[in-house]
Chains A and B, each alone.
Chain A
Amino acid sequence: MSKRTDRELVDAARAGESDAFGVLMRRHQRRIYRLALHLLRDPAEAEDATQETFVRAYGALDRFDGRSEAFTWIYRIAVNLSLNVIRARKPNRKSFSTDDPRLEGVLVETRAGSANPLGDSENRQLGRVLCEGMDALSDTLRTTLILVGVDGLSHAEAGEVLGCPEGTVAWRVHEARKKLKLFLVERGFAPKGEEGAA
């Protein structure tokens, strides 16, 4: 049996096919979790947000009008839920780079093939500074950068998620990268070939 598209799965779930939404959920849960993790920087909150995203999406299936892709529609719910969590946080709460869950992945990756300990150390440091730089961005720039730069969505897809034109997405990504680059350069991570210039 050929693999069903997201839209077919949504239609089937709407029609009452109990397994269809489960297939859709398993297809996208990793990406949704990763998005929530980057936005929330807390594994427990990210897990809750992922669960909540699919529960809310299921509850709103009848309102999916098919003008966008199903996964961008689910992404939008995930972004909204994550932003709600961030807004509900106490204002003095900060994420600490020492136990940043995003870095856990970087550490595991570098440890697996550690033929170059110096390089690993540099990568870990780079990952840490990269995370700090992303945290310093505004919610708007950070979310757009995560969708495009980290999660690999096209500008059109990110535009569907965020409800803005592709050009706006492109501008935000450019701005976010520019600020991120400045942040990296200030901390001694100038791109290769620009060390002197920086």
Chain B
Amino acid sequence: MNDRRSSSDLGSSAEATLNAFPFPERDWERDARAIEARLTDSIRGSTDASLLAAPLPNETDEPSSMSATATPLTHSGVRTQSLTEMARRSVEKKQASERQMARESLALAAQQRQVALPSGAAPVPASVNQVVAVSQARESARVASNTSNRSLKIALAFPALALAAAALLWFRRPEPAALATNSVAQAEPNAVATGAIAEPQPTPDTPRGVDPGTLPGEATPAAAPAQGKVAALPGKPSASKLAAKDSHAAPAAEAVDRSLPPDPSLRPADSRGGELPAKPTTGAVQVALGAVMGGARHCVAGDDAPSSAVVVFGSDGRVQRVTVSGAAAGKSSASCIEAQLRRARVQPFAASNFSVNATVRPE
């Protein structure tokens, strides 16, 4: 009938014995009177609380929370949970996960604003090579001249890192590389301020286009705020910090592309050229955005009108830039939407970037 059932079906004789295991009769009334005799001496409230606790440890290979599909049939072939109940639990679990994700994104956005306010400066446009060449020297100068400010940022960085680690554990994606870069991207403003970020810093000699993790889409935003502080040029409002950083990342990505031969057949085998598609397919983009749209919708829960977002994918398949307009524009929910949509990933493609419009409707 069913593999899961047959693998545990004991056979009719054994089932009958198990289900109706007889036991010797006793003088139950005598037993009951013996118990009643003890009750008279019993003191109400004297029972140890440990006797009322859940009794058994989990099995070593026991699933921590059983999914709906993992519920096996009973030996009689009847499911003990209705399919409706199982579906409801599954949806509730997913929604709880997305709500948690949105809350973490909002908290991160709030922390980013707090860090940006005392700095009083916005990031400056820069190419990858410029950032790589001067970032270490400037970081040293900045730290030496402003140690008290650094202490404040260190204090702020730890909660952000903890949040990023919690988000990592929560999502537990099957792609470790994507996870690592995602967590760094979420924690980068504070982490850069303390110099504690674990991401490898590219040098001018680093071959470009070899490791997607060091491509400009991720590496440049990490270095840009530090550089921006030294340059102290007038910048954009802190609320659009994430988007501003990405606007600096885009020229950097273009610089990398310009350094490669125009003909894909002449590009190195390990570069982003080769046999990549010219641009991501519509289906791939829909899947990528669909995977993160749930979290983005939580960001605008309670809004009356939908918001729009322009998502720009870099050639490495990662989101370079998100621009939010509509009801959420200028609010904290815009940063939340950005953080959610930035998690989208498509396969690498040959074009320098690819834009797509997305509508984020309130739940």
Contacts and interface: CB of A to CB of B under 8 A. Distances in A.
Contacts of A184: 10-11, 14
B91 interface: no
Contacts of A7: none
A59 B42 contact: yes
A149 B75 CA distance: 9
B8 A181 contact: yes
Nearest to A174: B72
Contacts of B55: 76, 79-80, 83, 143, 161-163
> Considering residues B31, B43, B50, B67, which has the most beta carbons from chain A within 10 angstroms of its beta carbon?
B31
B10 A62 contact: no
Nearest to B5: A174
Interface in B264-322: none
A68 to B, nearest CB: 11
B51 A77 contact: yes
A150 B51 contact: no
A26 interface: yes
B198 interface: no
A109 interface: yes
Contact of B67 (A33, A138, A149, A167): A167
Nearest to A81: B51
A140 B56 CA distance: 6
A140 B44 contact: no
Interface string A124-168: 001100100000001111011000011010111000011111111
> Considering residues B51, B58, B62, B65, which has the most beta carbons from chain A within 10 angstroms of its beta carbon?
B51
A167 B42 contact: no
Interface stretch (B32-40, B107-115, B173-181, B230-238): B32-40
Interface string A13-24: 000000001100
Interface in B1-47: 4, 7-14, 17-19, 21-24, 26, 28-29, 31-32, 34-36, 38-39, 42-47
Contacts of A168: 58, 62-63, 66
Contacts of B4: 174
A63 B52 contact: yes
Given A59-B45, A174-B72, A80 B53 contact: yes
A170 B66 contact: yes
A37 to B, nearest CB: 6
Contacts of A80: 50-53, 55
A190 interface: yes
B262 interface: no
Q: Is the interface of B mostly helix, strand, loop or mixed?
A: loop
A123 B17 contact: yes
A115 to B, nearest CB: 16
Nearest to B22: A105
Contact of A155 (B23, B46, B53, B80): B80
B140 interface: no
A110 B305 CA distance: 75
A31 B156 CA distance: 59
Nearest to A173: B74
A30 interface: yes
A29 B31 contact: yes
A6 B228 CA distance: 72
A99 to B, nearest CB: 13
A12 interface: no
Interface string B243-266: 000000000000000000000000
B144 interface: no
A71 interface: no
27 contacts: A29-B32, A29-B35, A34-B21, A50-B35, A63-B47, A63-B49, A63-B52, A80-B50, A80-B52, A83-B55, A109-B22, A123-B17, A130-B14, A130-B18, A139-B56, A143-B55, A155-B80, A156-B80, A163-B54, A167-B63, A170-B71, A174-B72, A181-B10, A184-B10, A189-B14, A191-B10, A191-B11
Which A-B residue pairs are the 4 nearest by beta carbons? A167-B66, A163-B54, A191-B11, A177-B8
Given A104-B24, A126-B14, A130-B18, 4 more contacts: A56-B48, A59-B46, A168-B66, A181-B7
